[in-house]
A = this chain, B = another copy of it.
Amino acid sequence: MKHNFYAGPAILPREVLDQASKAAHLVESEGLSVLEMSHRGSFISNVMDTAVQTAKDLLQVPDDYEVLFLTGGASSQFYMVPMNILGDNQTAAYIDTGVWSTKAIKEAKLFGHVDTVASSSDQNFNYLPTLGDIETKKYRYLHVTSNNTIYGTQYHTDLDLDVRQVIDMSSDIFSRTMDVSKYDIIYAGAQKNMGPAGTTLVIIKKSIVDQLDRPIPTMLNYATHIKKNSSFNTPPVFPIYVSMLTMQWVQKQGGVTAMQKINEDKAALLYDEIDRNPLFSGNVATDARSLMNVTFQISDQSLVESFLQKCDQHDIVGLKGHRSVGGFRASIYNAMPKSSIQVLVDVMQDFEKSHG
């Protein structure tokens, strides 16, 4: 197996992959593959219920919230959120921390007014913008991206403004403790910290739906999926099944509290080497450094390719930085073992010896 540092779809725990593979072949008790089972049958109904309950348990989701497994990725939540909760004459506040926030802002403008209340665009999003005094009463909600996969920035604590808060946690869901009650909607595409591509987690306060008189297609109305437990139509069964296995794996690690400690420890190993090694430097402001996506540069740009080749020789894949940032990005999600990060650190130290 390679050391999988891709940003997403991304590494999944080995035992999850083994179990998923086995179920794709045959679930003994059913005499069928999990890929060919009816979503109305007892096995998949139980998978759906267990996935919901495990998400609730991991994040201590309050009773007045619903957990949904939808499709279309976070990109579909960019428009579903405003379509469902932002009236034509209402205004939403968005914090712009780069590409993903920018895309969310674009879609929201189709449904109402948008104020970008903070942005770090002046420095290519390499820090988290300070939110000054904002007139919270003016806004229907505030939207924020918790972890920006591309630049490697992350909010490490919950936002706590006196306004409905909506958060995109696509790349750090289940990686840290959080207070769900601070948000009206939390959403996350599966393919970083939750499972394979193909499903989207939405945790939503029930009281926020069905408040607009805008006509909404049935499939795009959160109320539909709340009422039908994410099975109004055939849900993406296998991506949800693997997400369930991954959430159960997080439980076995000790839940999100333990996961956060492990993630802090793993990230420290890599950031410490970046700070120590004279060849490398981190991209983002220290207090904004993501525990999930570690972005860094090499001092001599002509060495980029040769460092990537060296990584390749050590079975490290997916380390190339996003084209809008350059350099390197090590995505070290929940499933990334510390031993793989150690391999990367060793390669960095070897590289220092030969090129320092």
Does A30 sit within 8 A of B, measured CB to CB?
yes
Complex partner residue of A38 from B6, B37, B195, CB under 8 angstroms: B6
Per the bound structure, the CA–CA distance linking A149 and B110 in Å amounts to: 37
Among residues of B, the one whose C-beta sits closest to the C-beta of A6 is B38
1/0 contact string of A194-205 vs chain B (CB within 8 Å):
011111000000
Interface size class on chain A is 35 or more
Does A261 sit within 8 A of B, measured CB to CB?
no
Among residues of B, the one whose C-beta sits closest to the C-beta of A192 is B234
Contact A17 B4 (CB under 8 A): no
Interface centre among A2, A9, A18, A79 (most CB of B within 10 A): A9
Per the bound structure, the CA–CA distance linking A75 and B73 in Å amounts to: 17
Among residues of B, the one whose C-beta sits closest to the C-beta of A24 is B21
Stretch at the interface among A54-62, A217-225, A338-346: A217-225
Does A78 sit within 8 A of B, measured CB to CB?
yes
Contact A35 B218 (CB under 8 A): no
Interface centre among A22, A32, A235 (most CB of B within 10 A): A32
Interface residues of A in 225-247 (CB under 8 A from B): 232-239, 242
Contact B17 A35 (CB under 8 A): yes
Contact B219 A37 (CB under 8 A): no
Contact B236 A71 (CB under 8 A): yes
Contact A236 B234 (CB under 8 A): no
Contact B236 A239 (CB under 8 A): yes
A18 to chain B minimum Cβ distance, whole angstroms, is 7
Complex partner residue of A217 from B31, B32, B110, CB under 8 angstroms: B110
Contact A107 B39 (CB under 8 A): no
Contact B71 A198 (CB under 8 A): yes
Interface centre among A21, A189, A235, A318 (most CB of B within 10 A): A21
A157 to chain B minimum Cβ distance, whole angstroms, is 28
A287 to chain B minimum Cβ distance, whole angstroms, is 29
Chain B residues within an 8 Å CB radius of A18: 25
1/0 contact string of A178-207 vs chain B (CB within 8 Å):
000000000001010001111100000000
Chain B residues within an 8 Å CB radius of A199: 198
Does A7 sit within 8 A of B, measured CB to CB?
yes
A313 to chain B minimum Cβ distance, whole angstroms, is 13
Does A36 sit within 8 A of B, measured CB to CB?
yes
Does A253 sit within 8 A of B, measured CB to CB?
no
Among residues of B, the one whose C-beta sits closest to the C-beta of A25 is B21
Contact B22 A35 (CB under 8 A): no
Per the bound structure, the CA–CA distance linking A324 and B247 in Å amounts to: 37
Residues of A within 8 A of B (CB): 1-2, 4, 6-12, 17-18, 20-22, 24-26, 30-33, 35-39, 41, 71-76, 78-79, 83, 103, 106-107, 110, 189, 191, 195-199, 215, 217-220, 232-239, 242, 315, 317-318
21 A-B pairs in the complex with CB atoms less than 8 angstroms apart: A2-B31, A6-B37, A17-B24, A17-B35, A17-B36, A21-B25, A21-B33, A31-B317, A35-B242, A38-B318, A71-B73, A71-B236, A72-B72, A73-B234, A75-B233, A76-B219, A78-B217, A79-B217, A79-B220, A189-B233, A197-B234
- For the complex of A and B, list the 9 residue pairs with the smallest distance between their C-beta atoms, beginning with the closest: A198-B236, A79-B217, A21-B25, A2-B31, A75-B233, A71-B71, A21-B24, A35-B196, A6-B38
